[in-house]
Amino acid sequence: MLAAIAFYVLAAVAIVSAFAVIAARNPVHSVLFLILTFFSAAGLFVLLGAEFLAMLLVVVYVGAVAVLFLFVVMMLDVDFVELKQGFLQYLPAGFVVAGFLFAELSLVGAASMGANGAPIALAPNAPTEITNAEAIGRVLYTDYLLLFQMSGLVLLVAMIGAIVLTLRHRPGVKRQDIAAQVGRRRSESVELKDVRPGQGLG
């Protein structure tokens, strides 16, 4: 009973806030609603018994990715009214995308149902005595090792690409060299000048 209430509350919050992401006038509010959507999705994962995935969703998406979204959106100097003007123009394209997504989801949903409407187990049920994290680790580092490593490589390439694209060396920038600062000796930097009265350093 409790689980059912929790599910409906979380699902409702997720859907309403997902709608608010596109409906909100202010882009910062949109991102905040997006965060709420992520959070509700994490709650749904917990209800499914996938607490490890839920925590990863919170750590990675809510704790890092969305922070950077928020960071960028806050710094953008955009005219909110102008931003909303193309809304109706793009609406048909949005409906087409939404239609495709819905069709795909329905297909997956239908394919995972048996003849009597009960869900088919797509993967063999994990043994119950090991924890979530261990179960994921066991398949990730054995059966799917190649895919896992390849996706890691793809991410690495993407990261290096982003750095190469945005990195530019400007000449004439003074950089701090901590090793040189720490390695400096008194004899190299301080000099005693004996200034005679009335003569100056001339």
Residues in touch with other proteins (CB under 8 A) = 1-3, 26, 28-29, 32, 35, 51-52, 55-56, 58-59, 62-64, 67-68, 70-71, 74-75, 131-133, 138, 176, 178
- Residue 137 CB, nearest approach to other proteins (Å): 9
Of 176, 149, 100, 116, which is closest to residue 108 (Cα–Cα)?
100
- Residue 14 CB, nearest approach to other proteins (Å): 17
Nearer to other proteins, 174 or 186 (CB): 174
Cα 92–chain centre separation: 28
Nearer to other proteins, 11 or 51 (CB): 51
d(CA 38, CA 45): 11
d(CA 23, CA 20): 5
Of 19, 42, 21, 22, which is closest to residue 33 (Cα–Cα)?
21
- Residue 155 CB, nearest approach to other proteins (Å): 14
- Residue 147 CB, nearest approach to other proteins (Å): 21
